[in-house]
Structure 1
Amino acid sequence: MPKLTVAVVRAAKHSGKPTSTGKLRPERLPDGGGLALQVTPDGAKSWILRYTRSSKAREMGLGPCDPDGRRGLSLADARDAAEAARRTLRAGADPIEAREAERAARQRAEAEAKAAAVTFRDAARATVDAKQGGWSSPKHAAQWLATLEQHAHPILGDMPVSDVGTPHVLQVLRPIWSQIPETASRLRQRIEAILDLARVRGWRAGDNPARWRGLLSEELPPPRRVKRVQHRPALPWQRLPAFMAALAQVEGQGAAALRFAILTAARTGEVRGATWGEVDLDAALWIVPGARMKGRRTHRVPLSAAAVDVLRAARPADPKRADLIFGATATRAISDMTLSAVVRRMNEPGPGADPDAPPEWCDQEGRAVVPHGFRSTFRDWAGEIRPEGREVVERALAHSVRDKVEAAYARSDLLEKRRPLMEAWGEWAGRPAGGGELRSIVAARARRQALG
């Protein structure tokens, strides 16, 4: 028979009597059928159900006690909960295990509901936010999002990321796989990264449907076998003296930055962010901090006499260490498009020019050159006529050693071996152009003047 009443529950207090060991332990007031009111020394009350299963005694906490049933279980509530647990026990299940299973199922349902609210577009934004701290250029985030917006989001963008499967990924990739394989391959890698992050954050489960090996590789041909990779157009190294002579006729920060980028074989982003505190004109040395390098490692650049001349011409009367060398202002960098615009203007045809003729400054296929292509020009020149060897040239380009074992031992940046290489490059760039090239430069300058 039940022993407790509402009045007893409301008035129940701990007796304050210690045990034989001198400790104060919770005290229990039984109600019958294994149900008891537990009171701790500090006055907290809760309901406990004792039962036996498989010859083992177990205790199940039913919840806090509140005689009024507002912030916990009243006496009646506790008796109902105890009876429900006894019914579970009579049905052959353990009440504690059944409650834990129910709780886990509820948590899974809540997680699935939450995941269903996260779209692929949301996961893409979260992936960019998570990764961009490790990217050397802020442009990379914009490129990621632009590629996804153009090719993936029309199909996947509003879909719950938990629902994205291999058929959806193939629906995105197949139309562009043979047309623009390099972009398609990058897109696949980005989708894979997004779905990996979604799995880590609990927004989806299972294998990644954008994985290449053993999955998409069975449906799509390798991108490099579909179409030859188109590298960025690069000027043949034999024409560099003529180009530099033409570039010398162009004024402005963009032209100066492009000259310096060519003479140092550096990436345009490294040049645009260069500050006066990074260069030592007396030592003819430019030290690019790792935070601004693609490989995240400090890169020392020996400066040729020609490169030093560019810096001296750009140097203000009283430069501050943090001031940008080629900035639009002392603290605002010029854009990458500023350098591209210099080459584009140098390639503008004059009045009456043949519209089908290749640009003045183009690669061997007739494509107009771009600033980044001059790193390839330097690589071809060094590979064909210089004795320093591949390792020195690759260091000059700040390329990392791909072999991990070799990289562990090759710790020198070969600075002193690179000095004569860069000096020779500067001398080649400043070499007088031949008569035919000089006529070309004069004609190009006349076209620009005619265009105003």
Structure 2
Amino acid sequence: MARNKLSETRIRSLAKAGIYSDGDGLFLRVRSGGSKQWFFIFKRNGQRTEIGLGGYGQGTAPVPLLLAREKAEEIRQRLSRGEKLHRRKTFADIMDDVLDVKKASFRNDKHKDQWVMTLTKYAAALHKVPIADITRDHVVEVLKPIWTKIPETADRTRQRIAAVIDHAKARGLYTGDNPADWRGGLKELLPARSKLTRGHHAAVSYKELPGVLVKLQQSLAVSARAVEFIALTAARSNEARSMTWMEIDFTEKLWTIPAERMKAGKAHEVPLTDRAIQILKDQEAVRTSDLVFEGERVGRPISDTAMVKVFRAAGAGDATLHGLRSSLRDWAGDETDYPRDVAEAALAHTVKDKTEAAYRRGTALAKRRAMMDEWETYLYRSRD
């Protein structure tokens, strides 16, 4: 087979996604995003093997054409001597490594089982695919059968596939954009999750929420501070809008919502983070009534409409204020090892299990405070 089919000039001009041969097993893969990777293919005993040789003109160790040919020639020499070459890492290989890390970091057995189940069951079609070869189309084909049937599980599967690929990128086994990122192109290929889930409030992904808060802080409006406060406390909109100064304990950093304003009819204690306290102090400095978040009319709370307007202007799309509670819940489930009952307690959800309810009364406040402090750190990480 002829060799040296490619040239540096031609490679630089390649824009169409596809695989281009340089001859005798050396190939260049051009992805739809423009990234280019070298790989070598050979067969032994009927088994096809691919070996990645690095990215062309990218990363910390770019591989130009001449070096790719040197690497390919080295492989040919080793094959001619009968040496065994290591096979390429597959999605399943990296998935197992990620699961080992997750299982070691999560104390919640149910959460561990969910990670294992979604990746082993719903991402099964990816298992044998070399991790470096996974494309957005692979991800779409995995998600399409479940995207409209079980949307929440499907989106969690997407997030966990993305985590596996991010792990591979950190190890230098994958180059280019993560094909499982929602804003990386999937949002043009799959319907928005918020439009699929009836009975649930459209929510901003917790991964996108820090960016929304950055824009929200650029507004000086009371409505913007109220939305920010809701994001920090996971409170319901009406609970924050009707909040009075008598409910705040600055010394204990605690907000006690009276029973008559709670959906479950029971008083609820909300631990306040540093940023939440600062918002309250700023509001107190311009206080004109008993209400913390006052509207344009004295003695009347800020309107829900004003809050939604400023929220969406900050990039929240069609998300609702109530969806901010889902953002916290998804983050706690995906990114932390806090027990389910701690996250549920933060949302003031009613529980029927007497044992869990007793556990919450005894220990949940301190653990919720720690969780909400971590949530604040996550939300404002992009400020530094």
Larger Rg, first or second structure (1 or 2): 1
TM (norm. structure 1) is 0.39
